[in-house]
Chains A and B, each alone.
Chain A
């Protein structure tokens, strides 16, 4: 088993990167790997409550992200500094996510065998 970390750094809907990376994380979890998904920078917007993706013809991302954790396929982490820099807090998130400091996020990435970004 390898320790995978998928790093999401872009907001939802403007690009498909987060959505497609979540699909890859699901696959890795289904293949019995240790999987974490880390939300940094604008990637924290993926988790925000109050999204209306249908208004722009997009597909909801918060449901599939929550399902990753609920199904035990991946652990979800969000960086506290990235939230604060965007005037957000954990209460603004629609998905249950563990909040890590930038230093803790650095440790998480340092322990990874494979880091996949988009």
Chain B
């Protein structure tokens, strides 16, 4: 197998890898700004320079020339090469800044040029703390600046579009954002204008940077030039914890990070997953974070004799729900949801079996024409495929209304969703409704007999199956009131005051939502009924699902890991 020597370390390679990516894959850090693995290689930041030598060959025979001791004679390229664009070849010898003073010096000088007109306003810059320019200036940059003249001033606070702000002074013209709009999203809304010291990226006159993926340029920007209108000046990076999760606004199940400070989700950024969303995330998936913080219920409620919802204890609410189900018996209808996890929907099915009721289907959230065949889908909930694989079908509103009218349904159990819209409040006047709800804006609350606040995807553990049949896990990013040991362990630490970063100890309890995950609520309701529904946390629930449900064979939390796992294709299942 062909070999290269990098800083004296001999590495084997296959195919024709580019040097920078090859080094990064092998844990050899090289400073770089313009290179992004998903985009073309312009080699314009000049930061990844390395010294490359190739073995000398005899022109006549093609044999590698050797010195007196039998070692190949290495001839170095006359100039340093950009490693991002260099395709490595057998026998090449590469020196990075670690072993070559020349490279170290070149990288320092490049950095000095990049910093000449950079404002160095890190103390007020949103990128500070996770800024490649800042980090690499510390690691590879010069000790100080020799530039003692006026810096070039470029436009600041330019609203490129509804979601992205440009600070042109901070820009180092790596063109990642322009290449993103040209090569990835293909909106062609950005370009670099002017030249030399005056250039910076901007939209052409009369064009707004409003594409549905515009905020990805904020992530690819290696400096603080492009920032989010929404997140600007909201928090410092070191105050927030970052939890891997799944975006819930589309059925694609894009991987994301939830950034939490003081138990509030402050922003959502993409998490690379080559099988699902690569490096990208739709703007809608990011801007939905407020749903985790706002309009959240204060605790369980039960409708009293006066006909209003009254705050009660969890025990009371659960026993009310249980008595409603007991009274209804076979007349209880259960509605699952594409917003709830596979585990919760499965537990709902188990509860229905135990009470003799019937699962009438799951709520799906189709917005026709919304999808674009990429990360945005017509389906606006994360788990309709998971519900289908559990054998549920989308709930049929007409059928359900007919059955409500003829009185065969006397109780309706709604899991983490809102049935008003599919049904009207008038349809549900004669029926006892139990709802697991996320928000106080849930209109089903108007008719609910018992309202049990449920944990959202940012607070629970569970599995979503995206529309391509890819099972992925969500993890708790923030703490809810009375969090169980299962949730705490999943957050990595068992003590609430140890959550968060050293700069954010979460002492403040005002943002702890009084809710419970449905995988605790449903077994509790079953227990109050005297029935037995599998409990013991979502990990064990998933074990049972994989044993009992063909569509989830082989699925386990360990197998899903951070990047998820493909489930067997649904076509095969139907055939079987």
Instruction: Note whether A and B form a binding pair.
Output: no
